[in-house]
Amino acid sequence: MPVESGNSAAARQVKQKRKSHSLSIRRTNSTEQDRPGMQRDMLEGQDSKLPMALRSNLLDLFGQIEREFENLYIENLELRREIESLNERLAGEGQTVDGGDLSKGALKTKASHSTSQLSQKLKTTYKASTSKIVSSFKATTSRAVCQLVKEYVGHRDGIWDLAVTRVQPLVLGTASADHCCMLWSIETGKCLLKYAGHAGSVNSIKFHPTEQMALTASGDQTAHIWRYMVQLPLPQPPADISASLDDDVDFSDKDEADGEADGPSECPTIRVATTTLKSHQGVVIAADWLVGGKQVVTASWDRAANLYDVETSELVHTLTGHDQELTHCCTHPTQRLVVTSSRDTTFRLWDFRDPSIHSVNVFQGHTDTVTSAVFTVGDNVVSGSDDRTVKVWDLKNMRSPIATIRTDSAVNRISVSANQRIIALPHDNRQVRLFDMNGVRLARLPRSNRQGHRRMVCCSAWNEENQACNLFTCGFDRQAIGWNINIPALLQEK
């Protein structure tokens, strides 16, 4: 007869105990079958709004749940006894396994090892899946190179608007809330000329298409036309911008005397305008030249836009129809078209191509103030709004935009590059983002403690003639910044 080993005998004992345990459970269940009847008798004396049939059914279900938990509890106790007996047997043979607590010992080691493997697999899978998404974003942004070239510092208050001259010599013009305009050398950053003829905040500046004249709009309810003559200084070696700024000091918090210590206080100053346009009853927020430079259009908070003759200073037309204050006006580069934007969430297209007919079209697509609307070289209008959207419209189909750009902050005065057809969006949150005409994001201008704007960015303007510094931005941190934007042709075609 074969002799049974110690392990096989122990296994037989465990099986016998399990059989006897199952029989005891069955006997327990059979003896407890009269519990529901007792509970029903107890519940009959209690007040309840439930029907007796529903209460009985609930009692049966709760009784079954209670019996299941009781069986599991008994099985758990029996398993603990078996584990203790096996530990004692293994201890007698010289082996130790801490099986009294399943959360420790070998079982815990195996569980932790398997868990670490699972977490590692999850991390690998997550990285592999997200890397595709991240790479798709990098494909549209990393190839656009944006570099800060020059900072133009000298105004004593926030800068509302800026523009680049259309004739030689090329200079940068800024309009500020300090009641002044300044003309800057693009290469050296030195102030060449200062205009101080306004009695209020200067809200807009635009240059004549063929002559050395500037058009400015002001909070003193007037628009001025003034002539300028500047001579560009000799170029100087580029200075280290990062070394001139302090990380711990925000320029917007510096004293106003800091701006007076630079060159702008020493540059020539013009105090009398060549022509003053007076017809508005409110703040003149913007002004622009019509094609040819013989007429100008102004936009005001009096809810009207005026068309003036430059030579006679006479009011030619008053453009009314907006329900609230106007915020911006822009003229087409090659046609007699004007677009005005307003706080009434609309912008209007005015057509002066036919002298006898002055048609107007209303664009409704925003839910908040339209901060600006500008023409492109083609038959498109791009509008920006405080509702955090920018929309591209086709002049031939005004019912719906052909592209919509959604942002995380209100959009101020936008500009569109004529050559590259890139939209520059200045935001309230100090960011400047670049998009193409299809609404695809191309880049975001860098901003840190050492470079970029520190307060709201008010306006952007492209410079098509200078590749070294082809985009300018200004903000309420009292400075204008020149950028070099290099976007490959392949990226623009997408």
Tokens of 483: 């950028």
Strand 269-270 versus strand 213-218 pairing type: unpaired
What pLDDT is attached to residue 89?
A: 82
What's the pTM value of the predicted model, to 2 decimals? 0.67
What pLDDT is attached to residue 204?
A: 97
Domain map (residue ranges) of the chain: 145-491
User: CA–CA separation, 148 vs 189, rounded Å?
Assistant: 13
CA atoms within a 13 Å half-sphere pointing along the CA-CB vector of 469: 20
Query: Could you give phi then psi for residue 4, rounded to 5 degrees?
Result: -75, 140
Lowest mean pLDDT across 164-178, 245-259, 295-309:
245-259
Contact between 196 and 178 (Cβ < 8 Å) = no
Strand 275-277 versus strand 223-227 pairing type: antiparallel
Contact between 173 and 183 (Cβ < 8 Å) = yes
Residues 6+ apart with CB under 8 A from 128: none
pLDDT, tens only, 311-320: 999 999 999 9
% of the chain at pLDDT higher than 90: 52
Q: What mean pLDDT is predicted for residues 289-307?
A: 96
Radius of gyration of the chain (CA): 39
Task: Work out whether the CA dihedral 307, 309, 313, 317 comes out positive or negative.
Answer: negative
Q: What mean pLDDT is predicted for residues 443-453?
A: 84
What pLDDT is attached to residue 226?
A: 97
Confidence of residue 117 (pLDDT cuts 50, 70, 90): low
Residues 6+ apart with CB under 8 A from 426: 411, 412, 413, 414, 432, 457, 458, 459, 460, 473, 475
Give the 3-state secondary structure of residue 274: coil
Alpha helices in 93-158 (DSSP H): 105-141
pLDDT, tens only, 187-205: 999 999 999 999 999 999 9
Contact between 374 and 381 (Cβ < 8 Å) = yes
C-alpha distances in angstroms, 226 versus 207, 216, 272, 304?
A: 10, 8, 8, 23
Angle, to 10 degrees, between the axis of helix 6-31 and the axis of helix 52-92? 160
pLDDT above 70: residue 342: yes
What pLDDT is attached to residue 119?
A: 54
pLDDT, tens only, 363-380: 999 999 999 999 998 789
What pLDDT is attached to residue 7?
A: 53
What pLDDT is attached to residue 43?
A: 56
Which is the CATH superfamily of the domain at 145-491?
A: YVTN repeat-like/Quinoprotein amine dehydrogenase (2.130.10.10)
Confidence of residue 450 (pLDDT cuts 50, 70, 90): confident
User: CA–CA separation, 93 vs 383, rounded Å?
Assistant: 86
Residue (of 304, 404, 391, 390) closest to 344 by Cα position: 304
What pLDDT is attached to residue 192?
A: 95
What pLDDT is attached to residue 243?
A: 43
- More confidently predicted of 485 and 38: 485
pLDDT above 70: residue 5: no
pLDDT above 90: residue 456: yes
Confidence of residue 359 (pLDDT cuts 50, 70, 90): confident
pLDDT above 70: residue 70: yes
pLDDT, tens only, 378-419: 789 999 999 999 999 998 887 889 999 999 999 999 999 988
Query: Could you give phi then psi for residue 118, rounded to 5 degrees?
Result: -65, -45
pLDDT, tens only, 411-421: 999 999 988 88
Q: What mean pLDDT is predicted for residues 4-17?
A: 53
pLDDT above 60: residue 292: yes
- More confidently predicted of 460 and 56: 460
pLDDT above 70: residue 104: no
pLDDT above 70: residue 144: yes
